A and B are shown apart, each in its own frame.
Chain A
Amino acid sequence: MNETKGLIFNIQRFSVHDGPGIRTVVFEKGCPLRCKWCANPESQIPSPQLAWTKNKCIGCGECSRSNLKCSPYFSEDELYWDNLDDEDAAAIDKVCPSKALHVIGYETTVSEVIKQIDRDSIFYGDEEGGLTISGGEPLMQPKFTYQLLREAKKNGINTAIETTGFGTTADFIKIAGKLDYLLMDIKTLDDNMHRKVTGVSNEVILDNFNTISRAYPDLPIQVRTPVIPGVNDTEEAIGSIADFIRCKNNVRYELLKYHRLGESKYASLHRMYPMGDVELSEDTFRRLKQFEFNNISSQLEDEGWQKGLGI
Chain B
Amino acid sequence: MSNVLLSPQEERIGKNKGKVKLFGREQRIYDSFQNSKSVVDVQRAKYFTESFKETEGQALSLRWAKALYNIAEKIDVVIDDDQLIVGRGGKAGKYGIIYPELDGCFLRQFVKQASSRVESPFEIDEEDIKVIENEIAPYWEGKTYYEDFAHAMPKDVLKITYDPKDLFSSRFILNESSSMRSALQWVHDYKKGIDLGFEAIKSEAKTALENLDEFDPKDTVDKAEFYESIIIVSDAIILWAKRHGDEAKRLAEIESSQKRKQELLEIARICYKVPAKPAETFHEALQAQWFIQMFSRLEQKTGATISNGRMDQYLYPYYEKDLKEGRITPEKAKELFRCVWLAMAQYQDLFVSPAGVKFHEGYAHWEAVTIGGVDEDGYDATNDLSYLLLEDKREFPLNYPDLAARVHAGSPERFLKEIAITIKDGSGFPKLINDEEIIPILVSKGADFASANDYAVSGCTEVRMPNLDTFTTPCPFINLAAILELTLYNGRMAKYGDELLTIETGDVTTFKSYEDLENAFVAQERYLLKQALRQQFVANRTRPKHFASPLGSSLHKLCMKAGKDLHSEKIDGGFDAGFFDFIGFGTVADSLAAIKKCVYEDETISWSDLLQALKDNFEGAEPIRQRLLNAPKYGNDDKYVDSIAKRIDKEAVSFVNQYAKNIGIYMDLRYVSQSVNVPFGTVVGATPNGRFAGTALSDGSSASQGADEHGPTAVLLSNYRTKNTNYNNRAARLLNIKLTPASVAGDIGTKKLVQFIKSWRDLKLWHLQFNIINKETLLDAKAHPENYRSLLVRVAGYSAYFVELSPNLQDDVVNRTAHDEIA
Chain A positions within 8 Å of B, measured between CB atoms, are: 12-18, 20-22, 58, 60, 62, 94, 97-99, 119-120, 122-125, 128-129, 256, 259, 261, 282
CB distance from B570 to the nearest CB of A (A): 42
A256-B717 Cα distance, complex, nearest whole Å:
32
Q: A21 contacts which chain B residues (CB < 8 A)?
A: 751-752, 755
B714 touches A58 (CB 8 A): no
A16-B756 Cα distance, complex, nearest whole Å:
11
Q: Given A14-B712, A14-B819, A122-B762, does the pair A97, B624 have CB atoms closer than 8 Å?
A: yes
Q: Given A62-B623, A123-B755, does the pair A16, B713 have CB atoms closer than 8 Å?
A: no
A13 touches B711 (CB 8 A): yes
Q: A122 contacts which chain B residues (CB < 8 A)?
A: 759, 762-763
B822 touches A259 (CB 8 A): yes
A18 touches B756 (CB 8 A): no
Q: A14 contacts which chain B residues (CB < 8 A)?
A: 710-714, 819, 821
Instruction: Supply 15 A–B pairs (Cβ within 8 Å), ascending by A.
Output: A13-B714, A14-B714, A18-B823, A21-B755, A22-B713, A58-B623, A62-B623, A98-B623, A99-B626, A119-B637, A120-B717, A123-B713, A123-B755, A124-B755, A261-B822
B821 touches A97 (CB 8 A): no
Of the candidates B622, B717, B756, the one whose C-beta lies within 8 Å of that of A22 is B756
Of chain A, the residue at the smallest CB distance from B604 is A94
A125-B624 Cα distance, complex, nearest whole Å:
42
B56 at the interface (CB under 8 A from A): no
Of the candidates B604, B744, B763, the one whose C-beta lies within 8 Å of that of A16 is B744
A120-B627 Cα distance, complex, nearest whole Å:
28
B623 touches A123 (CB 8 A): no
Q: A124 contacts which chain B residues (CB < 8 A)?
A: 755
Of chain B, the residue at the smallest CB distance from A282 is B2
Majority secondary structure of chain B interface residues (helix, strand, loop or mixed): helix
Contact with A along B610-650 (1 / 0, CB 8 A): 00000000000011101101100000010000000000000
CB distance from B36 to the nearest CB of A (A): 42
A120-B758 Cα distance, complex, nearest whole Å:
13
B744 touches A125 (CB 8 A): no
A-B contact count, CB below 8 Å? Answer: 77
Q: A58 contacts which chain B residues (CB < 8 A)?
A: 622-623, 626
B743 at the interface (CB under 8 A from A): yes
Chain B positions within 8 Å of A, measured between CB atoms, are: 2-3, 602, 604, 622-624, 626-627, 629-630, 637, 710-714, 717, 743-744, 748-749, 751-752, 755-756, 758-759, 762-763, 819, 821-823
A13 touches B630 (CB 8 A): no
Q: A15 contacts which chain B residues (CB < 8 A)?
A: 821
A99-B633 Cα distance, complex, nearest whole Å:
15
A22 touches B755 (CB 8 A): yes
A123-B752 Cα distance, complex, nearest whole Å:
9
Of chain A, the residue at the smallest CB distance from B625 is A97
Q: B626 contacts which chain A residues (CB < 8 A)?
A: 58, 60, 97-99
A99 touches B756 (CB 8 A): no
Q: A60 contacts which chain B residues (CB < 8 A)?
A: 622-623, 626
Residue of A122, A123, A128 with most chain B CB atoms under a 10 A cut-off: A123
Of chain A, the residue at the smallest CB distance from B3 is A259
A17-B813 Cα distance, complex, nearest whole Å:
26
A125 touches B758 (CB 8 A): yes
CB distance from A170 to the nearest CB of B (A): 31
Of the candidates B602, B627, B755, the one whose C-beta lies within 8 Å of that of A128 is B755
B637 touches A125 (CB 8 A): no
Q: B755 contacts which chain A residues (CB < 8 A)?
A: 21-22, 123-125, 128-129
CB distance from B628 to the nearest CB of A (A): 9
Closest 9 CB pairs of A and B: A14-B711, A17-B823, A98-B626, A97-B626, A97-B623, A60-B623, A97-B627, A14-B713, A125-B755
Of the candidates A13, A94, A99, the one whose C-beta lies within 8 Å of that of B713 is A13
Of chain B, the residue at the smallest CB distance from A24 is B713
Q: B743 contacts which chain A residues (CB < 8 A)?
A: 16
Q: Given A22-B713, A97-B626, A119-B637, does the pair A16, B751 have CB atoms closer than 8 Å?
A: no
CB distance from B638 to the nearest CB of A (A): 11
Q: A18 contacts which chain B residues (CB < 8 A)?
A: 823
CB distance from B654 to the nearest CB of A (A): 27
B713 touches A120 (CB 8 A): yes
Q: A129 contacts which chain B residues (CB < 8 A)?
A: 752, 755
A20-B747 Cα distance, complex, nearest whole Å:
12
A94-B711 Cα distance, complex, nearest whole Å:
25
CB distance from A185 to the nearest CB of B (A): 13
CB distance from A94 to the nearest CB of B (A): 5
A13-B755 Cα distance, complex, nearest whole Å:
14
Of chain B, the residue at the smallest CB distance from A128 is B755
B622 touches A123 (CB 8 A): no
A119 touches B622 (CB 8 A): no
A60-B622 Cα distance, complex, nearest whole Å:
8
A247-B740 Cα distance, complex, nearest whole Å:
37
A21-B823 Cα distance, complex, nearest whole Å:
15
A123 touches B756 (CB 8 A): yes
A99 touches B714 (CB 8 A): no
Of chain A, the residue at the smallest CB distance from B603 is A94
A13-B712 Cα distance, complex, nearest whole Å:
9
Q: B622 contacts which chain A residues (CB < 8 A)?
A: 58, 60, 97
Of chain A, the residue at the smallest CB distance from B720 is A122
CB distance from A304 to the nearest CB of B (A): 18
CB distance from B634 to the nearest CB of A (A): 16
A62-B755 Cα distance, complex, nearest whole Å:
46
CB distance from A27 to the nearest CB of B (A): 13
Q: B758 contacts which chain A residues (CB < 8 A)?
A: 125
Q: Given A97-B626, A99-B630, does the pair A13, B710 have CB atoms closer than 8 Å?
A: yes
CB distance from B799 to the nearest CB of A (A): 24
A14-B629 Cα distance, complex, nearest whole Å:
23
